[in-house]
Amino acid sequence: MVFFKGFGAFAEKIVVPESFAFSIPKSFSYHLAAGIFMVYGTSFHALVQRANISKKDEVLVLGAAGGVGLAAVDIAKAHGARVVAAVSTKEKAGVCVKYGADDVIIYGEDKLDHKGQRALTKELKSKSIKGGYSIIYDPLGDCFAEPSLRSIGWGGTYLVVGFAAGNIPSIPTNLMLLKGCAVSGVFIGRFQKEEPDAHSKNIKQLSALLAGGKINPFISKTVPMKDAVSSIEDIAKRKVLGKIVFINS
């Protein structure tokens, strides 16, 4: 079995609701099962339920080399969409290209001032072949949110996935008016609680995509539980590529 739990998952014993636990498909290793369902479940819910992704879409993924970001790239490409991956380093850009990203943007590792934000908006727009993205997947927030929203196309969907870059941003609401776009929140834990049947269906669809070779989760390394603290710090500092899995050593 594999289970979802936002807090307390490192405990030796834990009780979770029945809807939070799933049987591991026979074709899955324990490492794969531990590494796929949270990040891919989040990104699948975001792109499929919230944004209704199709092969006609052009998707901008921020933080595209991280856990949920790379899952979003993988799932979007599995649906035939064009994907632009935005990352902080050349190394991360290379990972995204290997995962099928059609183009990449490197925004650097530093916070952006007003001038930097304007420059990022200009670069994001230049990478869109449609003059604006129909879907923007944002797990970063902070100074990257507004310049990204400014690059959305008419009637697009901006997905608020998290705030890994630090601060929760304040965005001028007139941008939504001018762009005719929707801003949609993505909270996998609440979705799982409120719509367990839909979540279970998503997991089955992800399993089918994996079995069919349509998606390819990237587990960059496995880490003994004794080293969990330092690895969690690396996650917080956005140093991790793809997904890491903790194991009992």
At residue 244, does pLDDT exceed 90?
no
pTM across the whole model: 0.88
Q: Where are the domains of the chain?
A: 2-247
The pLDDT, as a whole number, for residue 172 is: 94
> Counting beta carbons within 10 angstroms of the beta carbon of residue 108, is it exposed (0 to 12), middle (13 to 18) or buried (19 or more)?
exposed
Residue pLDDT, tens place only, 183-242 = 999 999 889 889 989 988 998 898 888 888 899 887 766 777 777 777 677 666 666 666
**CA nearest to 148, candidates 161, 102, 77:** 161
Let me know: does 133 contact 58? Beta carbons within 8 Å.
yes
Looking at residue 168, what DSSP letter applies? P
Do β-strands 152-160 and 182-185 pair in parallel, antiparallel, or remain unpaired?
A: parallel
Mean pLDDT calculated for residue range 4-22: 71
Model confidence pLDDT, tens digit, residues 98-148: 999 999 999 999 999 999 999 999 999 999 999 999 999 999 999 999 999
The superfamily (CATH) of domain 2-247 is Medium-chain alcohol dehydrogenases, catalytic domain (3.90.180.10)
